[in-house]
Chains A and B, each alone.
Chain A
């Protein structure tokens, strides 16, 4: 069993990306042995009202049982609380918010209220640090990367808050993990999509430092090819138990409030 917590559907504004349809995502999952995908609506990152993409997302993911919707919430827009209830109704494993793309203060009052609301609803909050390498972003793609300080602030908002962070690199993970209490750090999960493998061995280092239980399988497909995350794992000497934890167990644990 392999769960990809970081997949996207829909067009990307900054370049043509093939494979953004549900059918193409399922084909890529078949190719790479991914059994379940947590899916976000890519265009919503760039919309004033990201929640307007949720209806399409629910419809698109409803066509295949392997696809699980991650609806988007903008906590600065009236009625955002309704999205949390809808998410539960649609079997969403989590909800997402990407404050730097929405123009929100990532550690501001709106985000803290949202984080607490997610905790109360027993839904993890998914946040992306980035979508692309900073060196290659479109000249008009100027949304800042999610700062570590914001993650530290959000996890401290409420004891029930659980956060899954995608596209984070080693430095940010370490800064947040070791800048949190053990209890806080235990409510944070990191997808492996942006962590370097050999010869730098940053993923191997994190396994030994933050622990295998903090890492979840994610790819960022189709913006990046999903084979990257598989290759990272295949280059490690993991026990079957460790590999299963990263590929499915830890994602399930993030849902087990």
Chain B
């Protein structure tokens, strides 16, 4: 059993003409790697009619619908995070309930609003009520604003997690850019045991995985790929040398199965 907690898919209203090929490639690579379930999100129209990290409500709805269609087409392979924009509170709350009812199992927050902003509170409160984990896009140590996103770093996500101790948060892609040591320090020194770490991202620095294990322990690590499945597989291979068999199983799927709603995966 292997659960990828950080996957993405595309659809016909994205700027990419090759969207079908990219979706097929993810599934094909997943078969070779041994991915049982891709837990995925779609960020609106990926920039076609609203910005990737500031998706409009109609684009969010279209993207979430496209993901629901994929979930229906591949019920044994794909699960969905409902993506929302916290700047549209009523729409976000409605979309969460609509997509949860249709079978999605988590909430995706990208970079439309800083993680510690009060506008995220109603979303997190609903996540608590529905028992849904929140995957939050994180820039590992944001030392300045980056174009195209209102990125958050680990300190801001931890502040949100402290306000919502009964919600499980996934700090996205520790290998996805920025200073991962800054994020690990925030998790190590904080009081936020409800923040788990997703290992995805194109970065796979020497020493990074050892540091992740040391900082949060295997019980808070989740395997994922994001945009580069080769680096995801490489990290998994490396972990086989670093962890015991039972520890590796935690990272491969047991930790994910623990935080997502019961019944979300074949093992449940």
Task: Give the CA-CA distance A46 to B54 in the complex, in Å.
Answer: 40
CB under 8 Å from chain B, chain A span 172-215: 196-201
Which stretch of A63-71, A116-124, A133-141, A240-248 is in the interface?
A133-141
Q: Which of A136, A198, A222, A234 contacts B203 (CB 8 A)?
A: A136
Which chain B positions have C-beta within 8 A of A15?
181, 205, 207
Task: Give the CA-CA distance A191 to B58 in the complex, in Å.
Answer: 43
Which chain A positions have C-beta within 8 A of B203?
133, 136, 224
CB pair A227 B229 closer than 8 Å: no
CB pair A224 B205 closer than 8 Å: yes
Query: Does A230 count as interface, using CB distance less than 8 angstroms?
Result: yes
CB pair B143 A199 closer than 8 Å: no
Task: Give the CA-CA distance A135 to B231 in the complex, in Å.
Answer: 17
- From known contacts A135-B178, A136-B140, A227-B238, infer whether A200 and B228 are also in contact, taking CB-CB under 8 Å: yes
Which chain B positions have C-beta within 8 A of A200?
22, 25, 227-228
For chain A, give the interface size range: 20 to 34
CB pair B227 A196 closer than 8 Å: yes
Query: Does B117 count as interface, using CB distance less than 8 angstroms?
Result: no
CB pair B177 A133 closer than 8 Å: yes
Q: Which A residues lie at the B interface, using CB under 8 A?
A: 15-19, 31, 132-133, 135-136, 139, 196-201, 221-225, 227-228, 230-232, 234-235
Q: List 30 A-B contacts (CB under 8 A).
A: A15-B181, A15-B205, A15-B207, A16-B207, A18-B207, A133-B203, A135-B177, A135-B178, A136-B203, A196-B230, A197-B29, A197-B228, A198-B25, A199-B23, A199-B25, A199-B229, A200-B22, A224-B203, A225-B205, A225-B209, A225-B234, A227-B233, A227-B234, A228-B204, A228-B234, A232-B230, A234-B32, A234-B233, A235-B29, A235-B233
Which 4 residue pairs across A and B have the least CB separation, nearest first? A197-B230, A135-B177, A227-B234, A198-B29
